[in-house]
Structure 1
Amino acid sequence: MRATTHQIAGVGLAVVAAAALEASTADAAVLVAGAWLGSLLPDADRAGSRIYRTRRFERRAWPLRILGWFARLPLRALILLGHRGLTHSLLAVAAGAAAAFALASLLVPSVASAAAAGVGIGYLAHVAADACTPSGVPLLAPLSRHRHHLLPRSARIPTGSLRELAVAAVLTAGAVAATLLLTG
């Protein structure tokens, strides 16, 4: 799946989770931001992925550009693993959530749980979406290289296809509807 579809899935699930849990505004914002980041992290194993691109606010202020470069530096080693390998496993989901909890505990302890939950939601949404593609994902890596799929062969969604666009539209509509129902 494309990065935009992963972001829609991860952020949509986080918005619904925040509304269902009646999270505070701060926790909801951290949960959604964590899910956005988590939805991009599994593709850190690909050199050209969206996680490595600088954002507009980084380009406007050189200290933020330098900070972003240093923040992405540890991820660069993941490129050596190959795409849709270890970074698309349940172990990686747990490691991503644990790393978010540890980092947030150092910076802002009051939102550490929300940050970890958000990264976990976004990361898992990404892995689940890729498990719906013809390639599948190695859920149990590094214990097993077997690729798992969530859909039967005939229903799998090729990356960049019209079916993926339809799924993204349905996910967007569902997230908006669920949020309106849960908050209204």
Structure 2
Amino acid sequence: MTAPTHIAFGLLTVASSFSLFSMSFHRNLPAVACAIIGSLLPDVDSPRSSIGRAMPFASIPIERRWGHRTITHSLLCMLALSVVTLPLLAYQSACYAALLLGYMSHLIADCATKSGVPLFYPHPAVCVFPGSARYRVKTGSLMGEGTVLAVVVILLLAFMPISTMGGIWRSFRYLMATPSAAYSDYRRANTETYLNFEGQWRHTREKVSGKALILDAKPAWFWIFFDGRVLTCGEHGAILPDKVRVEETDRPVRIQALRLKGETYQELVERIPENSFVSGLIEADASFEVQEEDFQSSAITITTRAYEFKFAQKEEISRFQPVFKGLKERLKALSRAEQGIYAKIEALKMARPPVHYLKRREIEKELAEKQKEIEALKRKNVRFRGMLRIRLTGDQL
């Protein structure tokens, strides 16, 4: 067969083989080049072929020594090629596979010609299919090879959408659009991913659909950022999905570690980037309670000695400022004592006859001590230790 037919059939063979293993081919230009080279390489035994004209230093000696369609059209030569190019496997496994698959496609295609090929060279047996010569193709014929080329090109064009979607199994999962299938795609992705979903709100049963950033996932369960909130999408989540599909991007997933070694809560908040998501556990050096008790967040779990975050955002983290346990009551008691001292001072000022100045100075000193104690309590901060993971989005990349 001629070079265009071998190239088309080689690309089809490599693309379909890669698709079975969910390997990218259409965007891997080095692999495409290796597939083309491999599909032409067996014809290096003929100076009249495309690759033979490009490599006369190899094609002329080979033809003189062995002739056309002999050793280079055999499994023995393919085995030798796999050994010689073995270092390529360590650096570009896709290119290595594409080269050998392209080479194999050439041998298969030539088996369908009138003359066949000696696959088991040096054994003289010629391998052909189909068995009857009338059904095999004559190299260069317009009706025979022209028809084969047209069919192969059509199949290649028809197969490109499948290759673009990531292969046969990925395409099948895309058509299924189930949470389990989407989770399989998510696990294979190594970049930032989005979830395209259709479903209904769990409590209201109202329809909902959209596209949301995937923060994390487990089988049939997704944590997503949708409509300004972190939500769950799954069988028991806030969103009950009908159809879900994973969409990959070119942006890498970036996670930043944040270690606390005795910092205050406010210092933690200041170190959190905007538009990020925080996960992890931090423990306090003393029991505490939060100042804003009415605000609720499903992303933050609070105990008397720790905070646990699950994709919490900076704004909601900043609302749960801690204070030492019992500090509010102590401040209230000190404030009442302070007011009592003020009342004593006013009463002494109005006393007749006037109170001795030493008595007034003693009470004023007591007031100053209470005020210092109040200020010291207000400045006292709970300190934390622990490790947090900060998921950065595309805005921080």
TM-score normalised per structure 2: 0.38
**Alignment of structure 1 residues 1-184 onto 2, 5 Å:** 1-24=1-24, 28-54=28-54, 73-74=57-58, 76-80=60-64, 81-102=66-87, 104=88, 109-111=90-92, 113-142=93-122, 144-153=123-132, 154-161=134-141, 162-184=143-165
In 1: Cα distance, 2:60 partner to 2:164 partner: 40
Gaps of 5+ in 2: 166-397
In 1: Cα distance, 2:135 partner to 2:15 partner: 27
Contact 1:134 1:156 in 2 (8 A): yes
Point out the structure with the larger helix share. Answer: 1
Gaps of 5+ in 1: 55-68
- What letter is aligned with 1:157? V
TM-score normalised per structure 1: 0.77
Give the match for residue 281 of structure 2: none
User: Cα deviation per residue 1:23-51 (whole Å; 9 max; x = unaligned)?
Assistant: 35798323221111111111111112111
In 2: Cα distance, 1:30 partner to 1:19 partner: 17
In 1: Cα distance, 2:70 partner to 2:157 partner: 32
- Structure 1 residues 76 and 178, CA gap change in structure 2 (3 angstroms): same
Two-structure CA RMSD over aligned residues (Å) = 2.3
| Distance apart, 1:88 and its partner CA | 0.6
Give the match for residue 206 of structure 2: none
Larger radius of gyration: 2
Point out the structure with the larger strand share. Answer: 2
- What letter is aligned with 1:17? S
User: Cα deviation per residue 1:67-122 (whole Å; 9 max; x = unaligned)?
Assistant: xx7xx7455532231001111111112222332333x36xxx421x2222111111
Higher relative contact order (CA 8 A, sep 6+): 1
| Distance apart, 1:155 and its partner CA | 0.6
